[in-house]
Structure 1
């Protein structure tokens, strides 16, 4: 009779597995409290991160998927700055390789490699790529363009867009039936460079564009023979990522 009473009392209480489960939950709670005691949490940053998830995946209440807070904006700016630094380092390596090529081929006076706000500038000076008033690429010019194209096929530059720009001086073309004005000459020269880079050097067509500016973008005034020679040029600009969206052809 006593044994039966004890069994009834045991059955009237909580199941035995609940005791073990409660102990486990208590231990887990102590564990997380201990972790919390070792950590430091910025309440404002935590709130900003939490707000950024609002409306995302239906987990939290609807609203903006990204809260415009200084902390979120700061993180985005840091990421953008990191990418800009990496891109600048890649451009520096490319510049060094090009300058080494120019030195080995005694072309330092024929081509300029320099940074500008849009990216890395490769400037072919007067008559390096073309004969006077002509738009057919010279054989040596093709070798140089092929070397440049091979560099631009490397992994760190495969996403870079390339703009080819033709420029002339202010002198009118004389006895040229093929090119009535400097407009046609500058555009055709730029187009022929792009065509070579695509059809013979193997660059992706979507990465390239050509434009001609005639005499209207001089680097120096067209007031001396020496200055006019400086203005007769073809520029290849490897665009920075920040400037790609601002270009009208993208």
Structure 2
């Protein structure tokens, strides 16, 4: 009997212990419920993309990450849809373990067109509230925020005050959202301003602020909203299309229309007779920058002109590189023609230069200048038959007319004239009348000088004659690497070197001379 009593006593103690355990568990869950406050979130969509996979691959099992790949680029409007799909893929157990991490990394960026006008941002709570709940909101991002005005943040307000709000990207109807008693959600208006600026996408960051009372912020308290611009590309044009430039600093200016909200880059390319580094240089690079909200941009151009005579010209054609322009398209004036006017005090050859430019028959003639000389190069192919020294009959009249024109130029009045003959490096045949290139170059110079004196009327006292054979080539026969030219390059060099040069030189000042050993018998 005693043994039976002891057994019942142990059974009672065990039953009491189990009851105590149930009570403790109940109390524990009640205790936890006291700390599980209602949570407030911003309503957002969800999408799995490469960024999501990359962020989760080191934190989740490989099998879970692999399953997420089948959800890539699928958009879910709310958390419930996303979780339902996730549970089907990885199971409820796995989903319960990892869904919060996956949801946070899969929050979709909201995109809204600039012309959308009024949009409503939804705020959610997971339990009904017993009284109205005020939720403070904060706004950040690179989008320009306008005023908080319930009347302005309406379709009518945006239309009525369209001009006044052009400087903003969005305006607000409120900075506080209120969830009414007994409700699970509310919304507040956010109004996108449809400005006239071409802009990059702009971001609005909406964030739930600190909450008071028996509620707390959830996992989705920040939402990114991207405003997608709908304006066409602005156009860029040069401010002027033609001008004269002189030695010094000049600006090349481009203007944009309409004004843009992003930086515009306009790379320039150039061509013409002006040489970079010799006639001009861009001081800070050949790209025009037009900064946001400004009308114009410039680059500085330095005109060098160290060796260009007074009134001589070079042409610099500057063009916009339309394939490389960033954030704009080419407008009406994409080319600017600059005429660089010589400023160096050099020998004035402008009259000859003008005559050559106006008379295409003498296009093969070449004119150069230095401080004291005008050097006029006449190609032998124009003057003489191949290998001959006599001026071709068909060009005598034309050449005489040209020489008569330059004889009457006031800037050449009184100049000493040297007539120099030059040949190429090909030796003459010993069977011909002319024995060598020295003789050929001298005879050619002599015949041109004779024409100048006898037919045109140049003063013989001002003329001197020289023959240099092939010793002073204008175009070298050797390449820059030291290798001798051949083929087409060699033919072109020889053709350029066969010439007669007329060199007009300022007369030297007369010098007084003195005889050091006078005749002792002189009186």
Distance in 2 between the 1:231 and 1:210 partners? 18
Unpaired segments of 5 or more residues in structure 1? 1-84, 246-250
**1:170 maps to what in 2?**
425
Q: Is the 8 A contact 1:87 1:240 kept in 2?
A: no
* Structure 2 CA distance for partners of 1:114 and 1:136, relative to 1, 3 Å: same
Distance in 2 between the 1:86 and 1:152 partners? 24
Of the three residues 391, 395, 399, the one matched with 1:137 is 391
Greater share of residues in helix = 1
The two structures have a TM-score, normalised by structure 1, of: 0.56
1:165 is paired with a residue whose SS is strand
* Structure 2 CA distance for partners of 1:144 and 1:216, relative to 1, 3 Å: same
**2:447 maps to what in 1?**
192
Distance in 1 between the 2:496 and 2:402 partners? 24
Distance in 2 between the 1:228 and 1:155 partners? 34
Unpaired segments of 5 or more residues in structure 2? 1-342, 478-484, 512-523
Q: How do 1:1-250 residues align onto structure 2 when only pairs under 5 Å count?
A: 88=346, 90-101=348-359, 103=360, 105=361, 107-108=362-363, 110-142=364-396, 143-174=398-429, 176-222=431-477, 223=485, 224-241=490-507
Q: Is the 8 A contact 2:403 2:456 kept in 1?
A: no
Q: Is the 8 A contact 1:162 1:239 kept in 2?
A: yes
Deviation at 1:128, TM superposition (A): 1.0
1:114 is paired with a residue whose SS is strand
Q: Which has the larger radius of gyration?
A: 2
Distance in 1 between the 2:368 and 2:457 partners? 24
| Higher-RCO chain (CA-CA 8 Å, sequence separation at least 6) | 1
Deviation at 1:149, TM superposition (A): 2.8
Deviation at 1:114, TM superposition (A): 2.0
Distance in 1 between the 2:410 and 2:345 partners? 12
Per-residue CA distance 1:206-249 (angstroms, 9 max, x = gap)? 1111110001001122341221111111111111335999xxxx
* Structure 2 CA distance for partners of 1:97 and 1:239, relative to 1, 3 Å: same
Distance in 2 between the 1:238 and 1:218 partners? 19
C-alpha root-mean-square deviation of aligned residues, in Å? 2.7
2:356 is paired with a residue whose SS is helix
Distance in 2 between the 1:177 and 1:131 partners? 14
1:127 is paired with a residue whose SS is helix
Distance in 2 between the 1:194 and 1:128 partners? 16
Q: Is the 8 A contact 1:183 1:212 kept in 2?
A: yes
Distance in 1 between the 2:404 and 2:475 partners? 29
* Structure 2 CA distance for partners of 1:134 and 1:159, relative to 1, 3 Å: same
Q: Is the 8 A contact 2:351 2:409 kept in 1?
A: no
